[in-house]
Amino acid sequence: MQKFIALWQHRYRKYTHLLKVYLHFLKVYFKIILLKIRFLGKRKVVAIVLTQQFGDIVAGEPISRQIRAQHPEDYILWIVKPIFKELLTNNPNLDGIIEEFCANQRRLLINSGIFDVLYNLQFRNNSYCSICDTYVENPVADAKNITIRNYYFQGNLLMVQQKIAGMPTDDLAPNLFVTEAHRTKVNSLQLPDKYLVVHCQSAQNSRNWDSTKWETLINYLLEKTDYHIVEIGLSSDLRISDKRYINLCGKLNLLETGEVIRRAKLFIGIDSGPAHLANAVGTYGVIMIGKLEDFVNHIPYSGKYKSGENALILRNTEGPSAEIPVDDVIKALHQHNLIPFSHQLS
């Protein structure tokens, strides 16, 4: 009986989900039909497909400028997961945003032919709905032999997107569209004038230092400088009781986090979404990057993080960034005079 109940619960969830997929698809489809009727053929409907990860979306912001330059009078939409919508809401190069319900809904939209021009920048590996058991292919990327296995051999994240879209591979720094509301929220936090931001955890464990390393580094910075340390991210497992340590994990949205980083003297973190925020807001970054699959000396960033003008990349070419020693970070901070210390290393 338990197996029978479990089977029908699974079927109920699946078929309810599928019904919602088609309802969401039809809602967007007919909305675009109405747009086309209103435009009377004078404007094309252009879609950009990049639904996740949020670092990829921040890195890819310049492509919206390039696509707008290619389609100055057309109606440009960006398909994105609802959780990342805020990154695009105030982008002046977009006319609208389509919130993705699931990858299968996106597949239906792409295959419907409703868009006059489509820039699909999403790889197959992060285009899967487990409930629908459906992948979304990207034949354009496949035809250009750009896959999840080789994309960093093609350049940074923006350059990969530009190549898939057929855009010029210009090295453009990303923008972040912070509003007065975001600045007001950060003002309400009453942060100190002098602080550093750290980001300690990503969704990929191989990139993460363990908490002991972060605690060692942060305690060293608290002891040897007069800066406050602000931790950002979704959650924290650090045990630091110093009054100059401020834990903002889970308390801010993405653009508020970007504004906190913008006001910081320095950003120290792993290669993850907040590092892209730091690049976009122009805060100097110390970024730890390790070997990733077959990628050894890859650089995810464009602009001044790519050139090294506004970032110091600490690499582990033999393994993951999780294995980078704390002493390497401390020595780099001293050697590059990134912040004033109360003493210098002997």
What pLDDT, in 10s, does the model give residues 215-251? 999 999 999 999 999 999 999 999 999 999 999 999 9
Tell me phi and psi for residue 8, to 5 degrees: -75, -30
Residue type, 126: N
Report the CATH fold assignment for 180-335. Rossmann fold (3.40.50)
pLDDT tens per residue across span 38-86: 999 999 999 999 998 899 999 999 999 999 999 999 999 999 999 999 9
What pTM, to 2 d.p., does this model score? 0.94
Residue type, 7: L
Judged against a pLDDT cut of 70, whether residue 4 lies above it is answered with: no
Nearest Cα neighbor of 326 from 210, 199, 245, 226 is 210
- Number of other residues whose CB lies within 10 A of the CB of residue 41: 8
- Domain 2-165 sits in CATH at 3.40.50
Residue type, 251: K
User: What's the pLDDT at 346?
Assistant: 45
Tokens standing for residue 178: 């912070």
pLDDT tens per residue across span 85-143: 999 999 999 999 999 999 999 999 999 999 999 999 998 877 899 999 999 999 999 99
The yes-or-no answer to whether 2-165 and 180-335 have a common fold is yes
